[in-house]
Structure 1
Amino acid sequence: MPAFAAVSAFIGVHLRTLAVGLLFFAVPAHAADPKKVIRVAWSSAETSIDPQAESDEASGSIAHAIFDPMLAYDFLARPSKLIGNTAALPEVSDEGATYTLRIRPGILFAPHAVFNGKPRELTAQDYVFSIKRLLDPKLRSKWLFLVDGKIKGATAAMEAAKKSGKFDFDAPIEGLQALDRYTIRIKLTQPDYSFPYVLAMPATSALAREVAEKYGDDIGFHPVGTGPYQITAWTRGSRVVLEANPNYREEIFSGDPGPDAVSRAIHARLQGKKLPIAGRIEINVVDEAQPRWLAFLNGETEYVRPIPEEFANLAVPGGKLAPNLAKKGYQVMPDEIAYITYTTFNTQEQIEGRPNSLGGFTPEKVALRRAIVHGWRIDEQISILDKKQSTRGYSMIHPAVSGHDPAFVSPTLEYNPAKAKALLDMFGYVDRDGDGYRENPDGSPLTFDHASEPNLRERQRNELWKKSMDDIGIRVTFNTVERLPQLRKQAQFGRLQSFSYGWIADFPDGENFLQLLWGGSIGQTNYARFDHPEYNALYERIKRMPDGPERNALMTRMVKLVNVYVPWMVETYKARSILVAPWVTGYKKHPFSHEPWKYLDIDLERLAKR
């Protein structure tokens, strides 16, 4: 899905017309039905529902149901197509360096005591305030990379905040202005043809300043937005209940019918309906796969996304829906996300004042990381851990986004324990005391710790790590075991040596993956703390370029640098499936959006007969 092709359709004269897509009409329509409930079980918990702060999938999905970005994706259109949401599609000038958007009048925030019982209308200034929040050093936003260095005057505002200790939200920023109540203009430091994608992400959604100021650092636990749902019950890390926002605008579905029969059937059922349809969403956090799977089979949840790898062979043997499930009317569909998995290696030379056995860029350290990669039993990961719900990945850029080179295959990622042993021998990692494990070239013990979550799958992964590393004589420990939000925080601060993770593309451009190893993302999403001058310079160049062969060539060069210095071991591209209950209609996962809750409908009669 080339990014420039997706964006070019709305650059120029055609942008000056209103978007076709989700239209808002002041016509009578049925309200969301409180009897229609979407129940889901998630494997990991939310952290906080602050769209500018958190980047995990759970928090993002909930935030996207509560808060509104200015733009959105047409639900069924493939390739992905941007449409207006709270604003019409932007007017573009200065060859892609200036974006002007007009907010639709009459959009209201959900009711909240801070508004003193009065309707609170969404304005352009709310988006100015919310985007400024990304720049506030105090927030330590994981989404800063989306705007870092891009908006005129923003870097100076950030530097002033670092010096004073407080971000001045009232100080004007040249590139971020509300021209009037409903018009926002964003001026970039240079052309960026992918920037409209940023305006479709929850990270640029609107918060009301008075709510943010009331709750301060605790704002993530008091979300108030203009989206289709609001939180009505919340046991942190365990259960979240959303109900339809009573102030939500009249949103009547209309859009592209999509390229396939399933999409066209969904389109026909949704045509002309008011969104959202279901009045309630119930989310429960269930760490282990078996109870999540059993809850679905028992009719306690409406869908399971994805099908747990442990049960994939039961649900979709040979890639086809099991006959017993098909007979009952269950539906299987691909989980349309651009999702890569990788293991990250901390490349800094010390961790909290202690030497890091994996860190540094001297030849022996690079050789050690390469040997670890050569020793990893990737085929067993795919067959045993993933249950063949993934394919081998060589590039950190997923095939579904621009910049992916399908011809690139890296010898660095080859499973080859003999090559691993030869590398280790060559650079002085040998077993001096005969205990079966190698020492460092200086004779000190060689070991590294692989951090993991406390669940069955990660315990199985750890067993595979031990077997893989024992084969080549490297001692690996598993002392750091915490839930994923805590692991991410530790990785942000550079406290982990290695851990296995993944990234789901936020928009259809390879830049979204490449920023994960950009030096400017250290302390945010660059868990490897990789800070390579050439890589950084190339990243700065591609941010300024439109999609095309020249930009793609630079992206491939960056991928090669990653394979040379090995801050990551790229593992797989996920190829997972979703199972949907017979009484649910409208489910289709968009590649670059979160859960499609507002489109889902429940057949109450069929549900009663389950």
Structure 2
Amino acid sequence: MKFIIIFPLAVLAVLCIAAGFFAGCDTDSGKKPDEMVIRSMLNAKLKGLDPVTCRDVYQMKVGSQIYESLYDYHYLKRPYEPVPLLADGMPQISEDGLKYTIKIKKGVRYQDDPCFPDGKGRLLKASDFIFSLKRFADINNLSHLWADFDERIVGLDEFREYSKECENSEDVDYSRTIEGAQALDDHTLQFKLIKPWPEFIEAALIGIVMPPLPPEALEYYGEELIAHPVGTGAYMLKTWKRGSFIELVRNPNFRGQPYPSEGEEGDLEAGLLEDAGKMMPFAERIVYTVIEESQPSWLLFMNGDLDSTGIAKDNFDQAVAGSGDLTDEMRDRGVQLKTYLDAGIFWLGFNMEDPVLGNNKPLRMAISHAIDRQQFIDTFMNGRDMIANGILSQIYASYNPKIKDMGFSVYDPQKAKELLAEAEEVNGGPVPTLTISLPGTDSFHKQYGQFLNKLFSEIDLDVEIDYMDWPTYMQKLNTKSAQLFASGVSGGIPQAISMIPIFYSENASPGPNHFNYKNAEVDKLYKQVRVMFPSEEKNRLYQKIEKIVMSDYPAAFINQRVAYILHHGWYKNYKPNPFSYNTAKFIRIDTDARDNYKK
């Protein structure tokens, strides 16, 4: 979870660096006066662009413009509707629902890259998807989403067991046949499932879980593939200055894709169909600047050097009036506001394998009831978010409105003190100082650390805050080294099943279950719901899982995100989609409007 605020002196330093970057990048790239460039930002340094290890929002945001999947969600329609991307139509599904046959588009070509003969990108083949899936299953690659595929595809688990016998991924024979994942010919894929997988398309075939990857790229780059992505997408990597910026340019080999000609009610009036039928992508380049502090990004947005931005705490009143609408200043600038309920839930997590926390439920409960969630939301989120009363976002059909009445997220310092006394009995003496890991060294995180320190001091619980950068923080979580940690997750698909794996015991760190939480009943119910098609019974089981998890207190769940996004009027065709990142190709920049604003 990225909290960002900055003090004024640091603002000036970072702003000067960023402004210098923008000028230098335009000059170095030979920018034409009317060139269409999307200017975006990343809140943290990028770790890599090998799809098998892409696991956070920043990697997905950049990588999804380069790599493609078989399917994606329709850009405009709601509810979210899967549509073909690299697939040539929707799958042919057997009557028992266990065999999926998928045709892929002909004529799709990879970007030009030195890994190919003469540097010319070759045509996409069905076998490239199978190669990517095998890399995903290879245990040496430590893919964090494996639990979603466990016991799903015929023969895939056996391939994973075989990979355990190899010292590293270089020793794994990717030519080995997997019965349930085969390329029948260059343009036909077939998957055989062990048992029904109702979310197979959404969970496995959308996003960059298993995008096609040419074996030539891995052979040529090896471990350096993280910095040399080779995809079929609308854009390709040109420049990556670590910790500074990333520049993508239009892929000349991209086949082109027409902008949608239909959407949902209101899209026509909102101008979201003005480009219907026109070929994408529209922009020549995308420039992502790494800005880990909020105030420089705000000033760059106001100066017209960023097309869109979130709204940091200190700038909220400048942007949003008490009515919830834009202020007059923002309207005069032609700025637009998009708000939407996100699938994100955020928490202060507990490492259940920690000797102090793991066996002391009263201590975990005391910590949870010591947190004033509404004060946190009012202080740090300008009252935008909602209290997280459970693990399921209100965006899901299975959300249980009665979870609030169960009191898991109630602020009650007196009860917290009583629970802390019980915790000391369980511990056999005073609870030692606890360490909270926060993923940032900026002033927002510093203020958040002070906020937690104050709350816990009120119940006489000693804590120390460990501030660190994002890669160090993730390394700590992946190695089970964090005791308490501030984090969160946004569901990857529009179904609640995307949230449950973070509590599945087989998905412990380095998987997404960074709580290292284990509950046999939760595991059993998860295996039950993952093969069920949508129904009231499935929703009931989701709610049962939620109640069990909340009763075990693997975390103090704090807030559910309500996203506020500002964008300039020249940033055309923007429609929020919390479940898809492959969206830059839809964006068109009105360069004249941007130039007039800056003048």
Query: One fold, TM greater than 0.5?
Result: yes
1:137 aligns with 2:136: no
Matched letter for residue 584 of structure 1: Y
State how far apart, in whole Å, the 2-side matches of 1:94 and 1:219 are.
Answer: 40
Q: CA deviation at 1:445?
A: 4.8
Q: 1:257 aligns with which of 228, 252, 263?
A: 263
SS of 2:165's partner is helix
CA contact (8 A) 2:371 2:455 kept: yes
Matched letter for residue 70 of structure 1: L
In the alignment, what sits opposite 1:380?
375
In the alignment, what sits opposite 1:605?
592
Q: CA deviation at 1:443?
A: 2.5
State how far apart, in whole Å, the 1-side matches of 2:343 and 2:500 are.
Answer: 14
Q: CA deviation at 1:324?
A: 1.0
State how far apart, in whole Å, the 2-side matches of 1:246 and 1:336 are.
Answer: 36
State how far apart, in whole Å, the 1-side matches of 2:73 and 2:221 are.
Answer: 31
In the alignment, what sits opposite 1:459?
446
Task: List runs of 5+ in structure 2 lacking aligned partners.
Answer: 1-31
Deviations 1:381-410 (A, max 9, x none): 100011112111112111212432222223
Q: CA deviation at 1:338?
A: 1.5
Q: CA deviation at 1:265?
A: 3.6
Q: CA deviation at 1:335?
A: 4.6
State how far apart, in whole Å, the 1-side matches of 2:123 and 2:436 are.
Answer: 49
Q: CA deviation at 1:124?
A: 0.8
Comparing 522-531 with 397-406, greater Cα deviation is found at 397-406
Decide whether aligned partners of structure 1 residues 317 and 267 sit closer, same or farther in structure 2, where only a CA change above 3 A counts: closer
1:201 aligns with 2:207: yes
1:230 aligns with 2:236: yes
In the alignment, what sits opposite 2:227?
221
Q: CA deviation at 1:221?
A: 1.0
CA contact (8 A) 1:227 1:245 kept: yes
Q: CA deviation at 1:488?
A: 1.7
Q: 2:333 aligns with which of 313, 328, 334?
A: 328
State how far apart, in whole Å, the 2-side matches of 1:36 and 1:164 are.
Answer: 48
CA contact (8 A) 1:358 1:448 kept: no
State how far apart, in whole Å, the 1-side matches of 2:308 and 2:275 are.
Answer: 19
CA contact (8 A) 2:261 2:277 kept: no
State how far apart, in whole Å, the 1-side matches of 2:574 and 2:497 are.
Answer: 29
Decide whether aligned partners of structure 1 residues 264 and 75 sit closer, same or farther in structure 2, where only a CA change above 3 A counts: farther
SS of 1:337's partner is strand
Q: CA deviation at 1:515?
A: 0.5
In the alignment, what sits opposite 1:557?
544
Decide whether aligned partners of structure 1 residues 336 and 123 sit closer, same or farther in structure 2, where only a CA change above 3 A counts: farther
Deviations 1:41-90 (A, max 9, x none): 22222211122212111110111000010001110001111100010211
SS of 2:403's partner is coil
State how far apart, in whole Å, the 1-side matches of 2:269 and 2:356 are.
Answer: 55
Matched letter for residue 134 of structure 1: F
Q: CA deviation at 1:481?
A: 2.1
CA contact (8 A) 2:505 2:513 kept: yes
In the alignment, what sits opposite 1:100?
101
In the alignment, what sits opposite 2:491?
505
State how far apart, in whole Å, the 1-side matches of 2:361 and 2:296 are.
Answer: 42
CA contact (8 A) 2:38 2:307 kept: yes
State how far apart, in whole Å, the 2-side matches of 1:265 and 1:487 are.
Answer: 41
CA RMSD of aligned residues (A): 1.7
Decide whether aligned partners of structure 1 residues 97 and 313 sit closer, same or farther in structure 2, where only a CA change above 3 A counts: farther
In the alignment, what sits opposite 2:149?
147
Q: CA deviation at 1:336?
A: 5.6
Matched letter for residue 160 of structure 2: M
1:284 aligns with 2:285: no
Q: CA deviation at 1:164?
A: 3.1
1:356-505 to 2 correspondence within 5 Å?
Answer: 356-360=355-359, 365-409=360-404, 410-428=406-424, 441-443=427-429, 445-452=431-438, 453-478=440-465, 480-505=466-491
1:538-557 to 2 correspondence within 5 Å?
Answer: 538-557=525-544
Question: Scaled by the length of structure 2, what TM-score is found?
Answer: 0.90
SS of 1:464's partner is helix
Matched letter for residue 496 of structure 2: G
Decide whether aligned partners of structure 1 residues 568 and 549 sit closer, same or farther in structure 2, where only a CA change above 3 A counts: same
CA contact (8 A) 1:518 1:535 kept: yes
Identity of aligned residues (%): 27
SS of 2:566's partner is strand
In the alignment, what sits opposite 2:46?
46
In the alignment, what sits opposite 1:82?
82
Comparing 93-102 with 177-186, greater Cα deviation is found at 93-102
State how far apart, in whole Å, the 1-side matches of 2:182 and 2:341 are.
Answer: 36
CA contact (8 A) 2:261 2:273 kept: no
Decide whether aligned partners of structure 1 residues 213 and 34 sit closer, same or farther in structure 2, where only a CA change above 3 A counts: farther
Q: CA deviation at 1:272?
A: 1.5
State how far apart, in whole Å, the 2-side matches of 1:94 and 1:50 are.
Answer: 36
CA contact (8 A) 2:341 2:395 kept: no
Q: CA deviation at 1:416?
A: 0.3
CA contact (8 A) 1:344 1:569 kept: yes
Task: List runs of 5+ in structure 1 lacking aligned partners.
Answer: 1-31, 350-355, 430-439
